[in-house]
Amino acid sequence: MSLRGDVCVVTGACGFLGHRLVRLLLEDEEMAEIRLLDKHVQPEFLSALQDCRGDTKLTVFEGDLRDGDLVSKACRGASLVFHIASLIDVKNSVEYSELYGVNVTGTQLLLEACIQENVASFIYTSTIEVMGPNPRGEPIINGSEDTAYESSLKFAYSRTKKEAEHRALQANGEVLQNGGRLATCALRPMYIYGEGCRFLLGHMSDGMRNGNVLFRMSLREARVNPVYVGNVAVAHLQAARSLKDPQKRNAVGGNFYFISDDTPHVSYFDFNHVMMEPLGFSIQEKLPMPLHLLYVVSFFLEILSLMLRPLVRVTPPLNRHLLTMLNTPFSFSYQRAKRDLGYKPRHSWEESRKRTIEWLTAELPKQRQQIRAK
Cβ pair 234, 346 in contact under 8 A: yes
| pLDDT value of residue 190 | 97
Residues taking part in catalysis:
157
pLDDT tens-place string over residues 244-258: 999 999 999 999 999
| pLDDT value of residue 277 | 97
| pLDDT value of residue 155 | 84
Is residue 297 domain-resident?
Answer: no
Structural domain range at position 342: 7-196+224-263+329-347
Mean pLDDT across the chain: 93
Gap between the Cα atoms of 114 and 75, Å rounded: 6
Give 239's contacts (C-beta < 8 A, 6+ positions apart).
Answer: 123, 185, 187, 252, 257, 341, 343
- State yes or no: pLDDT of 154 exceeds 80: no
Is residue 287 domain-resident?
Answer: no
CA dihedral 112, 188, 15, 55 (to 10 degrees): -70
Q: How confident is the model at residue 26 (pLDDT cuts 50, 70, 90)?
A: very high
pTM over cut 0.85: yes
* CATH at 67: 3.40.50.720
Run of H or E residues at 184: strand 183-189
Please confirm whether the linkage preceding 316 is cis (ω < 30° from 0).
no
| pLDDT value of residue 89 | 87
Is residue 147 domain-resident?
Answer: yes
Sheet holding 57-62, edge to edge: 57-62, 33-38, 7-11, 80-83, 121-125, 183-189, 256-259
Is residue 304 domain-resident?
Answer: no
Query: How many folded domains does the chain comprise?
Result: 1
Q: How confident is the model at residue 309 (pLDDT cuts 50, 70, 90)?
A: confident
- State yes or no: pLDDT of 273 exceeds 80: yes
Q: Which tops the pLDDT comparison, 156 or 358?
A: 358
Give 349's contacts (C-beta < 8 A, 6+ positions apart).
Answer: 228, 261, 262, 263, 264
